[in-house]
Structure 1
């Protein structure tokens, strides 16, 4: 319990520091833009992404056998976060013809390899859970 309390304190201090930086280094005219951006991010996450994730997980709970549900749900969260974080580089946002050193890595190939690793982890975990359930004498 002490560790959790300590993390709460550290998180609150970091948020206060971020708020102080925002208020001390931004023009007051930009504060409204920041609030709109934060509100849009909350709506996008809590309504769109979370709603979609919950819907897909509910569908998976109806279609997948019991041992495969948890690994598939975890993989969906990991793969979804990985994909959302990779959207800027996968779509090459910010690439410029006058600076070929920007976005010069094989981002699509890397995303594909990481997606395969997530899929293999689901397959391995699902097989282990299915085998453990089959061996359970209950």
Structure 2
């Protein structure tokens, strides 16, 4: 049986990903101290716990709720909202370590000079506004298309 083009692409992408992981692990072991490596391992473990234990179930609940409302909401709007939630969740995963570290303090106050909690809240507000605007724009354009399409003969 001949592999399809998609199978070959998937195998290539998996190989590239594994090579990247291996190279990153080698560089990490060569350049960092053991306590820093342990810190990276703890961070990755915490990220997995937050992702699998909090964000994924939350997004699943939002997804189920939105799909049940899907009879009234177009699927494109659901996809736009899901995209906004994913972007916000990824940014939260990136910023939460800074918020935590700032809360426990640093020896040098210039290392984390910003109010990361406020900035994250503002980011979520911006994502919400942009997501709502994208939904409104989509709905407006789809209504225009529906009104300009010729009616089919019954």
TM-score (norm 1): 0.68
2:105 corresponds to which of 91, 95, 116: 95
Q: How does 1:23-62 map to 2 (within 5 A)?
A: 34=41, 41-62=47-68
Q: 1-side partners of 2:137 and 2:119: how far apart?
A: 27
Distance change in 2, residues 1:22/1:89 (3 Å): closer
Distance change in 2, residues 1:89/1:118 (3 Å): same
Structure 2 counterpart SS, 1:100 = coil
Q: How does 1:64-79 map to 2 (within 5 A)?
A: 65-66=73-74, 67-79=76-88
Q: CA RMSD in A?
A: 3.5
> Does structure 2 retain, via aligned residues, the 8 Å contact 1:71–1:122?
yes
Distance change in 2, residues 1:71/1:51 (3 Å): same
Deviation at 1:78, TM superposition (A): 0.8
Larger RCO: Structure 1 or Structure 2 (Cα < 8 Å, ≥ 6 residues apart)? Answer: 1
2:126 corresponds to which of 117, 122, 127: 117
Structure 2 unaligned spans of 5+: 1-5
Structure 1 unaligned spans of 5+: none
> Does structure 1 retain, via aligned residues, the 8 Å contact 2:80–2:135?
yes
Q: 1-side partners of 2:122 and 2:111: how far apart?
A: 21
Q: Which residue of 1 aligns with 2:24?
A: 18
Q: Which residue of 1 aligns with 2:3?
A: none
> Does structure 2 retain, via aligned residues, the 8 Å contact 1:89–1:107?
yes
Structure 2 counterpart SS, 1:70 = helix
